[in-house]
Chains A and B, each alone.
Chain A
Amino acid sequence: MNIYIQGTGCVSPQETAQGGAFPENVLPWEGARLKASEPDYKQWIDVKLIRRMSRVIKMGVAAAQLSLQEAGIQQPDAIITGTAYGCLDDTGVFLSKMINQQEEMLTPTAFIQSTHNTVAGQIALMLGCHGYNNTFVHKGFSFESALLDALMILKEGRSKSILTGAMDELTNHSFNILSRFDLYKKESVTPASLLHSQTHGTVAGEGAACFVLGTEKGTNTKAKLTGVTTLYKPAGKAEIAADIAAFLAAHNCSEDEVSLVISGRNGDASGDEWYEHMENNALAGKPVACFKQLCGEYPTAASFGMWLGAKVIAEQRVAEAALFRGTTPTEIKKVLIYNHYKQTHHSLILLTAC
C-alpha cells in the first residue's frame, strides 16, 4: 500500500510558516540558540486562547493547520504527535510556583497545559476530531514512533488520512540546563559555518512540523512516505551501514536509486563522524543536504528533515542553504533521511516522488 504525503506544515527558526515554497533566504541567528520564527496565530486560533497557550501548543496547532490546508482536509481520521520534552514552558511555570510558594495558592492552567498530550488534545478539540489520538514521548524517537504508528494504522485500512507530526520548544530553563550538559558551541558560529566547525557541540533549536499522511493521492501530493525505521544504541558504524542496506532492501530500493541523502549533521565533531562515515561508504557519491544549520538541534528535529525532504521532492530542487555536498540531481526520485540524536537514537526515513 502506498502512503502519500498529502500536506505539510512547518513552524521553525526559518520563515517556513507562510506555507508555499522553501524560503529563499536563511534567517540569520547568533549564539547557540535558534528561536522559531512564529507566524501570526490569529489566522488559526482564537485570540483569547492565544494568550493562554504556550509556544509549543501554538507552533503545533499552526503546523497542523498548515498541513491540513495543503492537504485540503478538514477532519483527519487520527491525530498522532511526537514530542520529547512536551510542554516545557507550562511545566516550568507550575514547578517554579510550586517550589516558590511552598505548594500553596497554585492555579490549574499551567498544570493542565503541562501534560505531553496537550498539543494533540488541543488540535482534536479545535477540529472536533473524535478519532484516534496518540502522543509519543520517546526522546529522539518521538517523531519516528508517531510516523510508524500512523503508517501501521493506515495499512490496517480503516483510516484514510492521519495528521502526524512533532513539536518541541526551547525555554530559558531548558536552554540553561541543556547548556550545562555541554551540548552547545562555545565559539560563535553562523548558519554557513556551523557544519564545517569541526569542534565540540552544536546549536539548540525548536519547532513543529506536521504531515497529513493518507492512502490516496491528493491534489498537492508530490511524495510518498515509503518507510521509517529506528535503531537504538547501535554497536558501531558498521551496524548502521548494514541497517541502511537492509532498510533500502526492505523497501525495494537499490542504493543507486537514492537521488539525495538528507543527513542530520549538526556541527558536533564527534556526532558528525557517523554521517561522514555513511556519506563516504554506504552512500558514497550521493549528493547530501543538511538542515540543522536552519532549525538547530532538538530531539524531534528529524521532522524538519522530513519536511525539507518533502519540499525538495515537490520543487525538484535543493535550496542552496541546504545543499552540503555534491550538486542537485537532475531528477529527485528517492530521498533518504538519516538522523541521529546524541548518537543514541538513529533513524532512517525514505521518501519517494510520485
Chain B
Amino acid sequence: MHSDVWIAGGGVICGIGNNLSECMNAFKHMEPGMAHMEYLHSVHRHTFPVVEVKASNETLAGWTKMPDKISRTALLSRVAAEEAWRSTGLGDIRQYRVGFVSANTVGGMDKTEEFFAEYLQDNSKGHLSQVIHHECGAITELVADAMGIRHHISTISTACSSGANALMYGARLIKNNMVDVVIAGGTDALTRFTLNGFNTLMILDQAACRPFDDTRTGLNLGEGAGYVVLVSDALAAEMPVGKAPWCRLSGYANANDAYHQTASSPDGIGNYLAMQGAMEMSGIKPADISYINLHGTGTQNNDVAEGSAIARLFEPHYPPVSSTKSFTGHTLGASGGIEAVFSAWAVKEGILYPNANFSKQMKELPFAPVTQFSTGHQLQHVMSNSFGFGGNCSSLVFSKSAQS
C-alpha cells in the first residue's frame, strides 16, 4: 500500500451539460437545469420540476453506439465513462489492468416500470428484454462490456452516497495493486419509481430547490452520470505529453449516522465523522480545506444536519461552500460521481462553484454558501460530501499534487 491515488481525468453528463465543458459554462452563466419533465412520463409532470439530461434515449444511443432499447441508466453511464477515459489521453484501454466501479440506485428500473405495467395484468406478459437489465450490476456490465473492461467490475448502492463509495473502493483496489486504473463514479436515470418515492417522503420542492437557504422546502430530482479515472503513482508518472493528473484523492471516509432509515440526526453525527475521517486520512486540519462541495440537497433535514456538522468541525474558520445540486438537481447514485468530477476539476482549475437560488441566511448556521462563479483560486484541498438513506455518509478530499 505505497501508492497514492491520482485523478487522471473525469467525465460527466447531467441536466446542465452533456460533458464537463458544457457544465462549466452553465455554472459560469448561472444557468441551473430545472425544467418541466420532457422525457420522463409521470402524472406529476406539471407539479415537480426535474433536471433531466436534455437528450432522448435515441440520441444517447446514437452517441454511445448502444441499443436505444436498453436502460437510460446505462446510456448515461457510457457517455460519462467514455469522456472520463478519453480525457486522460491514456490510449487503448485494453493495455491496462482496468477496474470499473460504478454506483447506481435504480438499475434498469426505467424499463422494469414498462414491463410491470403489462406483467401486472397477466404475469405471463411483458417483454423479458425489459427486465433483463433490472439489476444494478447489469448496468455496470453493459458499459464495462462496451468499453472492453473486465479485470475488476463492481457496483455499489448506498442510496445518495453510492458514487462517493465507488471512489473509495476503487482507490483501495489501486492501493492493493489489483489494477492500474479504476473508472469510478455513478449513474442514475430519472424514473417514476424514485420520483414517486421521494414524493411520498414529501421532500420534493415544487419550485427550483434552494440548498442552504432558510426558505428551502425540498429537493429537485436530477439524472446523469459522473466518473473520475483513478490511477496509481506509476501510471500517473506515465501520462502522455500535455496531460497531467488533475489532483490526488488524498482522503476519504465513510461513516454511518445510525439514527434513522431516511432522516439525518439533527447534529449530523454521521456527516461529522465522515468529514473528520477524510481529513484525518489526508493528514490535514479543517483550516486546510479550501472549499466544500456540499451534499446540500435543499431538504430541511439534510441542510441543517450537514450545516451543523460543518459548523462544529470548522468553527471558527468556515471555508467557502456551495451545493452544485442547485444546478444539477439531486442525481442520487450519480451525485457522488458527478460532484467528485466537479471537485477534482475545482482543484485543478481553481474554481469556486456558485450556489443558485440563495437569498436568505439559514438561522441555524454561522456561514452562507458562495453565490458567484469565480476562478483563479489556489485550492489546495477540496472536500466533497455525499450523505444518504440508511445513514450512509461519505466524504472525499481532493488535493493538489504536493502537500502544502
Interface residues of A (CB under 8 A from B): 79, 84-86, 91, 94-96, 98-100, 102-104, 106-108, 111-118, 120-122, 124-125, 127-139, 141-142, 145, 149, 152-153, 155-156, 173, 176-177, 180-181, 230, 232-233
Contacts and interface: CB of A to CB of B under 8 A. Distances in A.
A95 B273 contact: no
Given A85-B135, A117-B158, A137-B155, A98 B390 contact: no
Contact of B42 (A103, A135, A138): A103
B270 A130 contact: yes
B197 interface: yes
B44 A103 contact: yes
Contacts of A177: 119, 128, 131
Contacts of A115: 105, 157, 159, 389-390
Contacts of A233: 150
A137 B135 contact: yes
B192 interface: yes
Interface stretch (B22-30, B109-117, B206-214, B220-228): B109-117
Interface stretch (B13-21, B137-145, B293-301): B137-145
A138 B154 contact: yes
A233 B132 CA distance: 17
A116 B157 contact: yes
A121 B157 contact: no
A280 to B, nearest CB: 26
Contacts of B196: 94, 98, 103, 106, 111
Contacts of B136: 86, 116, 137-138
Contacts of A124: 256, 258, 390-391
B201 interface: yes
A120 B256 CA distance: 10
A112 B261 contact: yes
Given A95-B112, A112-B262, A131 B256 contact: yes
A99 B113 contact: yes
B269 A130 contact: yes
Given A121-B256, A124-B256, A152-B172, A114 B159 contact: no
B105 A79 contact: no
Contact of B43 (A85, A104, A137): A104
B393 to A, nearest CB: 9
Interface string B197-208: 101110000000
Contacts of A102: 43
A121 B117 CA distance: 31
A268 B182 CA distance: 35
Nearest to A79: B256
A99 B41 CA distance: 12
B193 A95 contact: yes
Given A111-B197, A232-B153, 14 more contacts: A79-B256, A84-B137, A102-B43, A117-B390, A118-B261, A120-B158, A122-B261, A122-B390, A125-B391, A128-B258, A130-B269, A131-B256, A138-B136, A173-B123
A133 B256 CA distance: 6
Nearest to B150: A232
B78 to A, nearest CB: 17
Contacts of B199: 106
B156 A95 contact: no
B120 interface: yes
What are the 7 A-B residue pairs with the smallest beta carbon separation, nearest first?
A121-B390, A111-B197, A116-B157, A138-B137, A108-B200, A139-B137, A117-B390
Given A124-B256, A130-B270, A134-B158, A98 B392 contact: no
Contact of B159 (A95, A117, A145, A181): A117
Nearest to B149: A232
B261 A121 contact: yes
Nearest to B200: A108
Nearest to B260: A125
Interface in B364-390: 388-390
Contacts of A118: 261, 390
A15 to B, nearest CB: 30
A138 B135 CA distance: 8
B124 interface: yes
Contact of B120 (A99, A106, A121, A152): A99
A244 to B, nearest CB: 17
Contact of B390 (A111, A133, A176): A133
